[in-house]
């Protein structure tokens, strides 16, 4: 289940993340980065400036690698250390909806957002690199803290795609 899509204009926000390339079959490797990112922040006394996110650069499949980053927004720009990279969540116009329920069913919400955009002629901020579609801003923001709500059926995940005119 998801909310109705909407367009929001967002300011650029600094963040830190760990990049990874992983097929869906090995998704546990991406999820394992979550405590690493939060531990990195905690070890430096840096408070998160927003919810955990997964940023998809290239969308893969069961055996094709996703190119993604597991990260957290921060209040002000910080330096990375090699493995943890400093960056930003790009500012601009985003198509956004909130998925409610288990993340394993988030594909239904992706499809709903993409169909909504298709009907309206909305274009995503993407480019072709070496024959692959690279996204400039495709995010999942995990609004529910699993430490507070351990039941994934009760989680909320915001999906946000940067628009081409963003």
Q: Is the pLDDT of residue 157 over 90?
A: yes
Q: What is the pLDDT of residues 104-125, one digit of tens each?
A: 899 999 999 999 999 999 999 9
User: Above 90 in pLDDT, residue 1?
Assistant: no
Tens digits of residue pLDDT in 67-86 = 999 999 999 999 999 899 99
Contacts for 40-47: CB closer than 8 Å, 24+ residues apart? 40/16, 40/81, 40/84, 41/16, 41/72, 41/74, 44/78, 46/16, 46/74, 46/78, 47/74, 47/75
Residue 74 or 166, more confident? 74
Pick the closest to residue 55 from 102, 93, 16, 92 (CA basis): 16
What pLDDT sits at residue 147? 84
The span from the CA of 30 to the CA of 17, in Å, is 11
For range 138-157, the mean pLDDT:
94
Mean pLDDT of the chain: 95
On whether the CB atoms of residues 15 and 51 are closer than 8 A, the answer is no
pLDDT in the model for residue 84: 98
pLDDT in tens, 28-67: 999 999 999 999 999 999 999 999 999 999 999 999 999 9
User: How do residues 10-20 score in pLDDT, each as one tens digit?
Assistant: 999 999 999 99
> What is the value of pTM for the model shown?
0.95
Q: Is the separation of the CB atoms in 48 and 41 below 8 Å?
A: yes
Neighbouring residues of 161: CB distance < 8 A, sequence distance ≥ 6: 94, 95, 96, 113, 117, 124, 125, 135, 137, 138, 139
Task: Report how far residue 88's alpha carbon sits from residue 74's, in angstroms, rounded to the nearest whole number.
Answer: 9
Query: For residue 109, what pLDDT is reported?
Result: 95
Q: Does the pLDDT value for residue 166 go beyond 80?
A: no
Residue 41: CB atoms within 10 Å: 18
Domains in the chain (CATH in brackets) are 6-162 (3.20.80.10)
């Amino acid at each position: 289940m998801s909310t109705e899509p909407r367009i929001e204009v967002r300011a650029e926000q600094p963040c830190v993340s760990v990049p990874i390339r992983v097929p869906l079959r090995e998704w546990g490797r991406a999820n394992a980065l979550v405590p690493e990112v939060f531990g990195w922040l905690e070890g430096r006394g840096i408070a998160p400036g927003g919810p955990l996110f997964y940023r998809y650069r290239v969308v893969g499949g069961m055996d094709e690698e996703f190119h993604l980053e597991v990260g957290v927004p921060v209040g002000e720009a910080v330096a990375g250390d090699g493995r943890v990279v400093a960056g930003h969540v790009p500012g601009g116009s985003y198509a956004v909806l909130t998925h409610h329920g288990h993340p394993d069913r988030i594909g239904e919400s992706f499809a709903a957002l993409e169909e909504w955009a298709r009907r309206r002629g909305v274009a995503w901020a993407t480019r072709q690199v070496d024959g692959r579609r690279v996204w400039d801003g495709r995010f999942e923001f995990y609004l529910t803290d699993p430490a507070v709500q351990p039941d994934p059926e009760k989680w909320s995940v915001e999906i946000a795609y940067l628009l081409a005119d963003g």
